[in-house]
Amino acid sequence: MVAIDVDTGKLKWYFQYTPHDTHDWMPHRFQCWADLMFRGQQRKPIAASQSQWFFTILLDRTTGEYLMAKPYVKQTWAKGIDDKGGL
């Protein structure tokens, strides 16, 4: 996912859902935008479900900061997601 400044055309931030993605595990499912309180702070997250079976990833759409991820099936090919959103 990339965020581009519409005035300058420059990259604001990016997030690669699956590092070194050789199998095209791209985020092809829905994305949901919200304005909400998250861990005591007002945030503007993007939520998406991913091919690696995590309901992911909450990213702050203003900064690109990874917020959290949770699996939505009992078994996935990934062992987990680290604190920065990497597999």
Q: DSSP for 14-77? A: E--SSTT-SS-----S-EEE--EEETTEEE-EEEEE-TTSEEEEEEETTT--EEEEEESSS--S
Q: What is the pTM of this model?
A: 0.69
pLDDT-based confidence at 10, cuts 50/70/90?
very high
pLDDT value at position 45? 92
Catalytic residue at 60? no
pLDDT value at position 51? 61
Q: Which residues contact 1 (CB under 8 A, 6 or more apart)?
A: 14, 15, 17, 27, 46, 59
pLDDT value at position 75? 66
Catalytic hit among 5, 7, 24, 83: 24
**Secondary structure of residue 36 in the 3-state scheme:** strand
Q: What is the mean pLDDT of residues 9-26?
A: 78
Per-residue model confidence as pLDDT tens digits over 62-76: 999 988 887 777 766
Mean pLDDT score of the chain: 79
